Amino acid sequence: MAFADTYFKRFQSKETFINVKPSENLFLIIVIPVFNEPDLISALKSLVDCKLPTNDAEIIVIINSSENSSKDIIEQNRKTYNEALIFSEQYSSNHLKIHILNLENLPHKFAGVGLARKIGMDEALHRFNFLNKPHGLIAGFDADAKVKPNYLKEIENYFFKNPKIDACSVDFQHPISGEAFPKEIYNYIIQYELHLRYFIEALRFINFPFAYQTIGSSFVVKAEMYAKQGGMNRRKAGEDFYFLHKIIQQGNYGEIFSTAVFPSPRISDRVPFGTGAAIKKMTEAAQNEYLTYAMESFLVLKVFFDRKNIFYSQFNYENLNQSVLEFLQLNNFESDIIKIRKESPDLKAFNKKFFEWFNAFRIIKYLNFAHEKHFKKINVLKESKKLLDYKGLNFDETLNAENVLLLYRTFYTQKSDKLIIADA
């Protein structure tokens, strides 16, 4: 019995699309969902141009459309499919095989990036299950992204050096200058990426143990962990956030900083939120500044987190901000904590379950709730500088958004691929 047989039995997912046997040395499969994409070849070429790893890798491309997709989208997908087949025939090799699939008429109710990513990742799981390789790696990627030439090699090196890691995020860096996009797009993406990095650094500052970037184009997960967590979800947006945070909470989650993925800063209407949607919104509103969560909202949450041990024995709400108190009441905090106490033999177990309750999903809900009634969103440059102050870092107050973003990026590269195991 292979390691993922139970997964396929549970989800009644026995169908496979690729008939070519996988290499016995297969260690990594990169999955790329594609929808109405005119330039998939650039992403494929970026991967093909990488330095080859010691073991073999594959790319699975899932071109997809729903039963309600327009004629123009279906025609674009078919054009992309034909171009990708030609590319595959020319560049696919024994060490890096490329599989191109075009799936049409997917159920409208579920069709979207989540389903496409799930189909591709399930297909990758089938291939590792055939080899009975639970430690085979499945990487998330996007059709408009590119990578550093050492991308494949560094993923291989990282998991070889850190065999206990079950999944990880890969560093990402949006292009912030050049001729490919108008100047305002680069201005917008600088602010949006700064928001993403500010958010994670703020979570780390308040000692939230599961603070990691969750970008669909830059993560890797072991096949065994993918199956254990029930596979990718079918969400039409945010599928990466929900999927990865289920895994992050299990611990043994890492980060790779020795290579990078370069997601596109382009406008997109494929999903209701995320990078493309944020850039689209800023462009349509001619919005010169990106508004992010106020640093004060993280600080009042830090007070609550710092007092969490008290709740192991009593309910003491002294010094808690009104926004936190109201949110706890709305979310049945007391009744849930009583259950958590009963299930926790000691304080360490309580702390772990506490952050499973007040997890990343609930933090987002709190921040949105708090900014409706108690705080106002503020310019991301201003708040990211405020966080630097709280971290005790010396910096030039006149730095613009681009320079502050570059500074925030160093928080990651300076970690030098440090093994980070999530443990509340």
- Assess whether 304 and 223 both reside in one domain: no
Q: Average pLDDT in the 268-295 region?
A: 72
Residues 27 and 53: beta-carbon distance below 8 Å = yes
What lies within 8 Å, CB to CB, of 95 at 6+ separation is: 52, 56, 57
- Alpha-carbon distance of 215 to 170, in angstroms, equals 9
Question: Coil, strand, or helix at residue 271?
Answer: coil
**Which residue, 273, 305, 327, sits at the end of a domain?**
273
Instruction: Calculate what percentage of the chain has a pLDDT beyond 70.
Output: 91
Q: Is residue 287 part of a domain?
A: no
- Assess whether 177 and 264 both reside in one domain: yes
pLDDT band at 99 (very low <50, low <70, confident <90, very high): very high
Q: Is residue 18 part of a domain?
A: yes
Q: Average pLDDT in the 195-200 region?
A: 97
338-395 pLDDT tens trace: 999 999 999 999 999 999 999 999 999 999 999 999 999 999 999 999 999 999 998 8
- Assess whether 248 and 314 both reside in one domain: no
Q: What is the pLDDT of residue 424?
A: 29
Q: Is residue 127 part of a domain?
A: yes
200-220 pLDDT tens trace: 999 999 999 999 999 999 999
Residue 104 dihedral angles phi and psi, to the nearest 5°: -110, 165
Q: Please state, rounded to an integer, the average pLDDT across all residues of the chain.
A: 92
- Assess whether 265 and 333 both reside in one domain: no
Q: What is the pLDDT of residue 276?
A: 61
- Assess whether 267 and 313 both reside in one domain: no
Q: Is residue 285 part of a domain?
A: no
Q: Is residue 421 part of a domain?
A: no
Residues 150 and 259: beta-carbon distance below 8 Å = yes
Two tokens, residue 388? 């630097």
State yes or no: pLDDT of 282 exceeds 90.
no
- Assess whether 43 and 165 both reside in one domain: yes
- Alpha-carbon distance of 411 to 397, in angstroms, equals 18
- Assess whether 170 and 307 both reside in one domain: no
- Assess whether 204 and 101 both reside in one domain: yes
Two tokens, residue 312? 């192991």
What range defines the domain where residue 320 resides? 295-413
- Alpha-carbon distance of 383 to 293, in angstroms, equals 8
- Assess whether 226 and 142 both reside in one domain: yes
State yes or no: pLDDT of 167 exceeds 70.
yes
Q: Is residue 419 part of a domain?
A: no
Domain count, the chain: 2
Q: What is the pLDDT of residue 419?
A: 33
- Assess whether 79 and 181 both reside in one domain: yes
**Which residue, 239, 273, 307, sits at the end of a domain?**
273
Q: Is residue 104 part of a domain?
A: yes
Higher-scoring residue by pLDDT: 274, 205: 205
Q: Is residue 391 part of a domain?
A: yes
- Assess whether 228 and 339 both reside in one domain: no
- Assess whether 257 and 340 both reside in one domain: no
Query: What CATH number has the domain bearing residue 139?
Result: 3.90.550.10
Q: What is the pLDDT of residue 241?
A: 87
For 249-288, b where at least 16 C-beta lie within 10 A, e where not — what string?
Answer: bebbbbbbbbbbbbbbbbbbebbeebbbbbbbebeeeeee
Instruction: Give the CA angle between residues 13, 78, 115 to the nearest 5°.
Output: 30
State yes or no: pLDDT of 273 exceeds 60.
no
